[in-house]
Structure 1
Amino acid sequence: MDIPKLPRRLYTLGEEPEAHNSISYHTDNKKLHTALREALTDAEFEELKESRLGVFIKFKEQGFGWASRLVHYLLSLKLDIKKKYEMWCLVGPEPARFSLLEFENITGLNCEYIEDLETPECEVTPKMVSFWGMMGVHLEAGPTTDQIIAALKRCGDWSKEDRKRLAYLSIFTGFIEGRKFSTATRATLARLVMDLERFENYPWGRVAFKVLMDSLWNKDITGCYTVDGFIQVLQVWAYTAIPGLGASIGSPRENSSLPPPPPILAYDGSRGRRLMKAAILSQTRVINFVEKDISEMWPKWDSEVEDVPAENIIKVMYDRRPWKWTMDCWEVTGTKTKFVTPSKRAKEMVVVEVEEEEEDNQRPRKKARKEAPKEARKEAPKEAREEAPQAKETGVSNKQPTPQAKETGVSNKQPTPTPQTQPTPQKDQNRGSNKQPTPQAKETGVSNKQPTPTPQTQPTPQKAKPTPQKAKPTPQKKQPSPQTKQPSPLPKERLLPEDTADEAISVYKILPEDKADGVTSKEIVPLTSTDQPSFASNDQQPSFASNDQQPSFASTDPSVPVSEPSLVVLDKTAPTASVRARSERTKKPAPTQISPYTAERKKLLRVGKYNPFPSLNSRKLKELADWLKTDPDYYTKLEDKPRTSPTWWYHKLRTPKAWLEDVHMDAWMNVLRQRYQENPQAFRSERMCFLDHNFSHSWRDQYLFFKASAPDHKGLGRMLPSGAALFYDGSMPSFCQSNKKWGEDIDDIYAPVNLNNKHWVAIWISIPKRHIVVWDSIPSSSVPEAWDEIMEPFLEMVPYMLAECAATEEERVKYGLERYTYERLLKDVPTANNGDCGVYTLKYIECHALGVPFSAKDFARSNAKTMRDNMAVVIWTELVDQHLKDNEDGGMFVGMYD
């Protein structure tokens, strides 16, 4: 039976993207939940749990296990549909739908339709202004998760209603919006909290579903990606849509209460499995969708589009009951092309080129190159006899011309004077440099011998002194010399790129006055200023820009006059010949001894170590100040400026004794990472990496999970912090990725460490020494006994990470699981004023990476302001506006890596 048109797969069957990294999300913030629990009394907290939004609090308390691989493979099995607020996944031949109906069934939240869902009318009242001020939030913005956490810690003396409002906003920012912790939520929705009854009865289920689907729309899942909103609902949907999967790995909860809880509270979840995709596809029973009346199967949305193929799935199942889906109902190929990594793509391109050459030559390339001269020697005598009557020679070569020198004669053989002719100065300067002939040898007569005396001369670009006498033409030899024989056709020519055109040394220019009888005479001449490219010349003769550059020929078609010659460069594997002028040699440094070296083939930049404490560039600092005046928030009070304001950003950085935020520390680490990537020779080693605050924050924050997890019989299998594998292989930080693995390519790791948002210190992890060094600019800021606890996550998890990720058992034994050692250096470490610890931390890392000792003069406390200004100028000039953008890596470190 024929079926109507159905949507195609998004990815071709069997070519779905693999789950290389854990999906990032923001709806599992334990700090938010802890602060909320401590801010409310037991009665208030129980009242919040029993409210219509309490399902989020109950979900958090049950400790749901996140399985990133399960959700990822469901996303890779999607069908390509046009509807934005509906998703279909193909589990074998069975389609499974995730829409607002499924979301409502799983969560039990209010999902009714209302107009202006995200822009409700809410009047700004003095009470609202006061409450926003108590939270420390700008009136025109919604609170961030970080601001809510800070407010929860100081709300002990607030009224009961205000604490309840703050609790509702905690659910709104932490679960419904579910965005990055430092990203402001939407003020239009957050303002609804001033009316507690309206806020509680608002259709937050529809809002939460829309946030999630907006984030998933056209999401690229081939690499690292972050999803906003309550993404855990997709995992529970997988358990409900595929019952066998939920029963086997979903850890269903035993609950006999009436009425039964929503499915979101019916599972404990579990960690992902390596064979998760196979486990999904092995299921045979699938609940396709939540069944309702056909008229209610498509929830109303203001901006939804019509998608007939997607609607046909439901119509077929309703109209043709009982309907049985088979694999023949769906196309195998997807609408998206197969994802290929850059390295694999390069290999495929190389294979294609080799196949093309083999098709053209029908023999191995190396063998073809060896046989080409043999064929040339066989064909050259016959061609020479045919072309001899038409040969027209120039005075470039000083040897008696051979019949094969059709137009010019250039050779590499040592000149041999004859009694009849003396070489002119101009002639003595022309000689070739390469050994093999080029395809232009037929026209130009280029050979591999040095110039020898010739019986006649031709006009040259520079007047030559007349010779005492001219030699008579010598009789032509019967057998031509092998140096002038015509070679066989060579591999494909490559056009010279435009940016290398100025490196061409000499070109053949058509001389109109020499055209006669259809024969065009060519001569090596220097180009004028109107021609391109132009060359530095000596005595009006073309010369090389440097002694080691390879010359290039420019060949023109004699039958077509052109104003500019076309430039070509032969294939690297092809034998080439060259012509260059001979001039007086002058002593000068080789190109590789000049910095920077910008030759075409080998780009070498030898730059010494830069000064980490340069003098302040006042001009750039003034330009920065003028640029900041264009900020719309320039005249806003500092306490009212948003964190995204450049004025706020640079004010915090340049103010003496001002606390540096995470964004400032990350910006300077990005500068070091970019400088190291561009010029690693300036640093003391080429086996180091610079990590941002996310590394130390996530490892210290999630160390308890690692400590509580039980290892296997080999001591492995423990839970690592989220994103740990990305740090290990150099994928993180994503700005200027190193893509180098710890231990294998990296020996030294530098990172700043934030101690409870009160103090910054720098750490240097030496993998070969199995040792960690701490530089503390204010030693009195912490108790010495506390440092064992502070450093324990790094001492334990760094060696474990190396052993866990080792490719072989030998490497695992090499790295070992023994705990690292550490020391907190106090001697010869300059100290800073309170508030300048962040600046000194960054400078400790920079100086040690450069191999520059810590100088008391450079690190003088009076120089702190100059150091801050210099950092502001460098960040502004080298990072442009990258530092003002949100750190996309921040979402990778929320929760455990599965």
Structure 2
Amino acid sequence: MDIPELPRRLYTLGEEPEPQHSISYHSDNNRLHAALKGALTEKEFEELKESRLGVFIKFKEQGFGWASRLVHHMLCLKLDIKKKYEMWCLVGPEPLRFSLLEFEMITGLNCEYIEDLDTPKCDVTPEMVSFWGMMGVHLEAGPTTDQIIDALKRCGDWSTEDRKRLAYLSIFTGFIEGRKFSTATRATLARLVMDLERFENYPWGRVSFKVLMDSLWNKEITGCYTVDGFIQVLQVWAYTALPGMGASIGSPRLNSSLPPPPPILAYDGSRGRRFMKAAILSQTRVINFVEKDISEMWPKWDSEVEDVPAENIIKVMYDRRPWKWTMDCWEVTGTKTKFVTPSKRAKEMVVVEVEEEEEDNQRPRKKARKEAPKEARKEAPKEAREEAREEAREPTPQKDQPTLQTNHPTPQTRQRTPQKAKPTPQAKETGVSNKQPTPQAKETGVSNKQPTPTPQTQPTPQKAKPTPQKAKPTPQKKQPSPQTKQPSPLPKERLLPEDTADEAISVYKILPEDKADGVTSKEIVPLTSTDQPSFASNDQQPSFASNDQQPSFASTDPSVPVSEPSLVVLDKTAPTASVRARSERTKKPAPTQISPYTAERKKLLRVGKYNPFPSLNSRKLKELADWLKTDPDYYTKLEDKPRTSPTWWYHKLRTPKAWLEDVHMDAWMNVLRQRYQENPQAFRSERMCFLDHNFSHSWRDQYLFFKASAPDHKGLGRMLPSGASLFYDGSMPSFCQSNKKWGEDIDDIYAPVNLNNKHWVAIWISIPKRHIVVWDSIPSSSVPEAWDEIMEPFLEMVPYMLVECAATEEERGKYGLERYTYERLLKDVPTANNGDCGVYALKYIECHALGVPFSAKDFARSNAKTMRDNMAVVIWTELVDQHLKNNEDGGMFVGMYD
């Protein structure tokens, strides 16, 4: 029996994209959970765990192991369907469904249908205004995860009801919404917390599922990508749909409680295995979907579309029981094209194959350049070569030649041209350049074709475009003379313009060595000035200066100076080429040089170190102030300004003693990275890199995973933080990538370090010295005993990563796994006022990278305002609006590598 239409695969079988990086996600926040547990009493925390939303807290406390590769490969096996809130994956011949029914079964959350799910009606009350003010959140916005964490740290004197509201919002922001930590949640849903009973009974399971599926819809998974929402449920779904895999790698929990917990709490999870895709495809026992009555198999959605092929999967299995799926039921090809990784694409582009086309086709410029050497190597007729050599041996009189004005001789001068000069049959077509002669030119080619008259109005000279087959007709309209209408037995010639001269020189160099096609070195002879006729200007019309001068088209004397840089390259049917010699190159200064190289000085003048403490540019500062007035939020109160507002951004940066956010620190590090890339000579070394806050934040935050992972017998195989390999090879930060590897190309690493959102310090990691230096502008901000714990992630993981990423055993022995040392410098390190630590940390890095000592005068506390203003002007001038965009690398540091 024929089966109905079924959906196709998204990716062709066997061409699914391999995981490039770990999937980034924002749920399961350690900082949020720690702050929540510390803000509530033990009784309040237990009540929260037993509530209808307590499944998220229980899931967090069981320490679920995230397996990014498993989820990625399941997403690669998707079928291409139209339904947004449903997903089908094809494991072998078996289709697996992930819909709201499976989500409800796995989590046990309320998933019932209600109208206006995302926009419930909730009136603004004075109690709501007061509570939002206590959290420090704008009334028209929902709280961010960072704002919830800050509120949890200061809610000790709040009422029990307000702390419970804050706890529910923690679950809402951290698990249900699961967005970036600094992204505001939806205020329409967050306001429900003012009615605790309504909040607890709201269908948060449906909301959570919708957030996840909205994020996965049309998600590009060929590179690094981030998924919003409670993504861990996909991993548990894979365990339940593939029971064999769940039993083998899912670490099922032994639980004899009644009733049994939902599947989300039945597995401890794991990081998976190396060959995850093969393990998935080897599964033979599957659970296709949650079975209900056929009328209940498609949950109701307000905006869902009809998809008959996807519905046919369920209908076939219901109507034709028992149904057995086979590979013949599914098409092999997918709806998306094959994904090629950037590295493979680069390798494929190295080999360029040039296909031959018909002679009458017009080929593009680049293709013509590539084919010129190929055409010149063809064998020339023997008679043409002999005649060319005889012509070259004839002596040619030397005469002074005036400047060539144009390549269109008049009829009068054409009649005065000697007719006894017999042109060589080697060339098909010859042209002369319409440019003024340059002193650098060595040789010149001239035309042996009968010239044609031109109109009285002198047209603008046009360059002939190079085509290897035949000459392109010139754009000027000419009046053909009777002589030119006569058929000529001579082949046509072609002019190669000056800008392709360097390409044609390669023909001149290749042909003497490549004699396999019968072309000898004597047959490739450059033209000299003796071969060029003299022209004189008469009423803006060119003419020959002498009647008895006969141009020669091949000369063996290369020492004669030349005044015209044009050259002759023969057409496809006449392979021999006459080209000028390479002109002497004019040496130009590099961008990092003040003046060009001069033979007299015998040295390069390099740019010196710039002043890291310049005087304030008042004019630029006023321009910045005027530009900020165009911000729509310019007149909004500071506490109500969004974080994306330029006025908020620059106000925080320019205000003395104001805490600098991560975005401000990253912006100045981008300035240093851009300056270093454009002018590395200004810095003390060309083997350094500047990292942003993501480096120190991710390494400190994920050090516990590294510490808990067990090494192999060589001491390797431990879990490094997210993005560690990208920092190592210079791919990150992505702004002004260095693409230099630590140890191999980099010796010095600079980065700011955020200490619990209270203090900024700067660190300098010296790989050759195996030592780390800390510059602290406020030494009293922390106790000395705490620094061992603060620096431990860098002391342990930097040497480990150098060994882990080393290509050979010799390099691994060179770096070694021994722990680095560190020192916290206090002497000769200027101190700052409270709040200015971020500015001083950035200036420490800049001065040390430039080799400028820390001056007490420059770092005076009274200069903090000037330093801030200068940084604002520089950032606004050099980065334009780049600093106002979200850090595109931020999503890389919230998940873990497999």
Cα distance between partner residues in 1 of 2:571 and 2:339: 31
Contact in 2 for aligned 1:671/1:875 (Cα 8 Å): yes
Check conservation: 2:243, 2:285, Cα contact below 8 A.
yes
Residue-by-residue CA offset, 1:93-136 (whole Å, 9 max, x unaligned): 11111111111111111111111110111000001001111111
Q: Is the 8 A contact 2:699 2:793 kept in 1?
A: yes
How far 1:733 moved relative to its partner?
Answer: 2.2
Q: CA deviation at 1:645?
A: 1.7
Q: What residue ranges of structure 1 are gaps of 5+ in the alignment? A: none
TM (norm. structure 2) is 0.77
Q: CA deviation at 1:343?
A: 3.8
Instruction: Provide the alpha-carbon RMSD of the alignment.
Output: 11.5
Paired position in structure 1 for 2:734: 734
Map of 1:598-609 to 2, 5 A cutoff?
Answer: 607-609=607-609
Deviation (angstroms), 1:170 = 0.6
| SS at structure 2 position matched to 1:427 | coil
Q: Helix, strand or coil: the match of 1:512?
A: coil
Change (3 A) 1:238 1:534: farther
Question: Residue 435 of structure 1 contacts residue 577 of structure 1 at CA under 8 Å; is this kept in 2?
Answer: no
Any idea what the Cα deviations from partners look like across 1:518-569, whole Å, max 9, x if unmatched?
9999999999999999999999999999999999999999999999999999
Q: Deviations over 1:815-857 (max 9, x none)?
A: 1110111122233333323222111111221222233333334
Distance, in Å, in 2 between the alignment partners of 1:427 and 1:778 is 81
Q: 1:500 to 1:195 in 2, by over 3 A?
A: farther
1:457-496 CA distance string (max 9 Å, x none): 9999999999999999999999999999999999999999
Conservation of the 8 A alpha-carbon contact between 1:504 and 1:552 = no
Higher mean C-alpha deviation, range 230-239 or range 253-262: 253-262
Please say if residues 249 and 270 of structure 2, whose CA atoms lie closer than 8 Å, have aligned partners that are also in contact.
yes
**Structure 1 760/325 Cα, relative in aligned 2: closer, same or farther at 3 Å?**
same
Say whether the 8 Å CA contact 2:778–2:837 is kept in structure 1: yes
1:191 and 1:136 map into 2 onto residues whose CA distance is 14
Number of residue equivalences: 892
TM-superposed CA distance for 1:747, in Å, is 1.9
2:400 matches 1:406: yes
Distance apart, 1:860 and its partner CA: 3.0
Moved more, 612-621 or 443-452: 443-452
CA distance in 2, matches of 1:424, 1:459: 30
Specify whether residues 554 and 253 from structure 1 end up closer, same or farther in structure 2 by C-alpha distance, changes over 3 A only.
farther
Cα 1:242–1:594 shift into 2, 3 Å: same
1:643-689 per-residue CA deviation (whole Å, 9 max, x = no partner) reads: 22211111010011211111110111122223333443433333322
The whole-number CA distance in structure 1 between the counterparts of 2:820 and 2:740 is 21
Name the stretch that deviates more: 630-639 or 147-156: 630-639
Q: 1:452 to 1:190 in 2, by over 3 A?
A: closer
CA contact (8 A) 2:444 2:562 kept: no
CA distance in 2, matches of 1:463, 1:65: 68
- Deviates most, 58-67 or 468-477: 468-477
Relative to structure 1, is the Cα distance of residues 459 and 782 closer, same or farther in structure 2, using a 3 angstrom cutoff?
closer
Note the C-alpha offset of 1:870: 1.6
Q: 1:174 to 1:204 in 2, by over 3 A?
A: same
Worse-matched range after superposition: 669-678 or 462-471? 462-471
Query: Match of 1:639?
Result: 639
Deviation at 1:288, TM superposition (A): 1.0
Work out whether residues 401 and 535 of structure 2, in 8 Å CA contact, stay in contact via their aligned partners in 1: no
Alignment of 1:79-118 (within 5 A): 79-118=79-118
- Are residues 81 and 769 of structure 1, via their aligned partners in 2, closer, same or farther at CA, if it must alter by over 3 Å? same
Equivalent pair of 2:17/2:221 in contact (CA under 8 Å): yes
Distance 1:789 1:466, change over 3 A: closer
Q: Compared with structure 1, are the counterparts of its residues 414 and 56 closer, same or farther at alpha carbon in structure 2 (3 Å cutoff)?
A: closer
- Deviations along 1:706-726, one digit per CA (max 9) or x if unpaired, are 223332222223232233233
Farther-moved stretch of structure 1 (538-547 vs 374-383): 538-547
Asked if structure 1 preserves the Cα contact closer than 8 Å seen for 2:453 and 2:479, the reply is: no
Change in CA separation of 1:165 and 1:369 when aligned onto 2, cut-off 3 Å: closer
Decide which moves more: 43-52 or 178-187: 43-52
Q: Which stretches in structure 2 are left out of the alignment for 5+ residues? A: 412-416
Alignment deviations for residues 316-362 of structure 1 (CA, whole Å, 9 cap, x no partner): 22222211111222222222222223342233234342576999999
| Residue 382 of structure 1, CA deviation | 7.2
Cα deviation code 1:601-621 (max 9, x no counterpart) = 999996544333333232222
Q: 1:422 to 1:889 in 2, by over 3 A?
A: closer
Cα 1:576/1:400, change in 2 over 3 Å:
closer
Offset of residue 178 of structure 1: 0.4
Against the structure 1 CA distance between its residues 655 and 210, is the aligned structure 2 distance closer, same or farther, given a 3 Å change threshold? same
Contact 1:778-1:833 at 8 Å conserved across structures: yes
Task: Name the CA distance, whole Å, in 2 between partners of 1:557 and 1:119.
Answer: 88
Distance 1:751 1:457 in 2: 68
1:194-233 deviations in whole A, cap 9, x for unaligned?
A: 1111111111111101111111111111221111100000
Return the alpha-carbon distance in structure 2 between the equivalents of residues 478 and 409 of structure 1.
23
Q: Displacement of 1:794 after TM fit?
A: 0.7
Larger mean Cα displacement after TM superposition, 635-644 or 482-491: 482-491
- Post-superposition offset of 1:383: 7.4
Paired residue secondary structure (1:10) = coil
Asked whether the equivalents of residues 87 and 97 of structure 2 are also in contact (C-alpha less than 8 Å), the reply is: yes
Counterpart position of 2:8: 8
856 and 315 in structure 1: CA distance in 2 versus 1, 3 angstrom threshold: same
- 8 Å Cα contact 1:432/1:448 also seen in 2: no
Q: 1:488 to 1:693 in 2, by over 3 A?
A: farther
> Which stretch of structure 1 is more off in the superposition, 716-725 or 68-77?
716-725
Name which of structure 1's ranges 448-457 and 103-112 shifts more when overlaid on structure 2. 448-457
Q: 1:29-67, CA deviations, whole angstroms, 9 ceiling, x for partnerless residues?
A: 112111111222222212111111111011111111111
Contact 1:429 1:581 in 2 (8 A): no
Secondary structure at the counterpart of residue 762 of structure 1:
strand
The answer to whether the 8 A contact 2:23-2:227 is kept is yes
1:551–1:674 CA distance, 2 compared to 1 (3 A): farther
The Cα of 1:811 is off from its aligned counterpart by 2.1
Instruction: Tell me the secondary structure at the aligned position of residue 346 of structure 1.
Output: helix
Counterpart Cα distance in 2 of 1:776 and 1:102 = 53
CA offset at residue 154 of structure 1?
A: 1.4
Indicate how the Cα distance of structure 1 residues 556 and 297 shifts in structure 2: closer, same or farther if over 3 A, else same: farther
Deviations 1:350-377 (A, max 9, x none): 4342576999999999999999999989
The answer to which of 417-426 and 280-289 deviates more is: 417-426
Normalised to the residue count of structure 1, the TM-score between the two structures is: 0.77
Q: What is the CA–CA distance in structure 1 between the aligned matches of 2:542 and 2:178, rounded to whole Å?
A: 68
CA change 1:495–1:231 in 2 (3 A) is farther
Higher alpha-carbon deviation: 733-742 or 554-563: 554-563
Task: Please state how far the C-alpha of 1:578 moved relative to its aligned partner.
Answer: 9.5
- 1:257 deviates by 1.5
* 1:400 to 1:238, Cα distance in 2 relative to 1, 3 A: same
- In 2, the alpha carbon distance for the partners of 1:128 and 1:547 equals 103
Q: Deviations over 1:130-184 (max 9, x none)?
A: 1111111110110111111111111122111111111110100000000111111
Gap change, CA 1:516 and 1:629, over 3 Å in 2: same
The worse-fitting range, judged by mean Cα deviation, of 305-314 and 674-683 is 674-683
Deviations 1:557-602 (A, max 9, x none): 9999999999999999999999999999999999997658999999
Shifted more, 601-610 versus 747-756: the winner is 601-610
Measured after TM superposition, the shift of residue 20 of structure 1 is 2.5
Bigger Cα displacement from structure 2, 122-131 vs 788-797: 788-797
Question: Following the alignment from structure 1 to structure 2, what is the Cα–Cα distance between the partners of residues 476 and 137?
Answer: 72
Identity between Structure 1 and Structure 2 (%): 94
Separation in 2, partners of 1:538, 1:55:
97
